[in-house]
Amino acid sequence: MLGQGTWGWGEDPGRRGDEVAALHAGLELGMTLVDTAEMYADGGAEEVVGEALAGRRDEAFVVSKVLPSHASRSGTIAACERSLKRLGTDRIDLYLLHWQGRYPLEDTVAALQQLVEDGKIRYWGVSNFDHRALADLQDVPGSGGLATDQVLYNLSRRGPEYDLLPWCAEHQLPVMAYSPIEQGRILHDTTLNDVAARHSVSAAAAAIAWVLRRDSLCTIPKASSPQHVRDNATALEVELTREDLDALDRAFPPPSGPRPLEML
């Protein structure tokens, strides 16, 4: 349920060693879900992941994504093949359409199915789709293979609770939450820090635990050092109380109506 994100990796060669070490630390802690994308550092993040997983590929469940500008039928296949090369692997465990673009979903889904049949990916899904887009996707031939929707969800981005998360629960579709600490912007909130102190963890770990309180939902915080990874992992030990949840609801109110799906 708790994986590792790589947004921002591969941008600074001076950080590469720490990024590789962070991924190794996560694997040792059982954080075997590793999320990346061709967009991140123009493939640089995939290259870091490939370096980190050299000789231990079977320990990880690797997720990557195709840009919508590449998501034609032939373009999706070509993009996947480039990602496979950068990752240094013969398969991607879960391959996502990063967000919906100009190409018909029928073509993208057909390409994803072909990649599954060819053994180049094991599963496919989408990212940044709201419940209406998911409902439309249901009408596309082959959409029964949909494995997940990866969306922005954290204490300060609670819009999915109103309609998207209920829709996914009804249709038994797992959700992947990205940016569970809002790129650090929520970590100075007094209430969040009070909750964290009650559990003797960091504010980041408390925020991640809040996301993980929901069934059928996993999250992929980014960490760029082994210590940061170990800190994130403490979220798995936190059981938020009703008092904690009520306090966080007051500080970060849940949605009272539909909101457009937000993206970062």
Tokens of 126: 């989408």
Burial of 6 (0-12, 13-18, 19+ CB in 10 A): buried
Q: Is 162 a catalytic residue?
A: no
Residue owning tokens 């929520």: 186
3-class state of residue 167 by DSSP: helix
Tokens of 251: 């500080």
> What are residue 152's DSSP bridge partners?
178
177: nearest Cα among 220, 215, 238, 216: 220
Select which of 40, 95, 103, 153 is catalytic: 40
- State the helix-helix crossing angle for 44-52 and 16-28, rounded to 10 degrees: 50
**Using CA atoms, how far apart are residues 76 and 10, in angstroms rounded to an integer?**
22
Q: Do residues 65 and 37 lie in contact, with contact meaning Cβ atoms separated by under 8 Å?
A: yes
- How many H-runs (helices) and E-runs (strands) does the chain carry? 10, 8
CA 1, chain centre distance (Å): 11
**Using CA atoms, how far apart are residues 153 and 220, in angstroms rounded to an integer?**
11
**Using CA atoms, how far apart are residues 232 and 143, in angstroms rounded to an integer?**
34
Catalytic residue set: 40
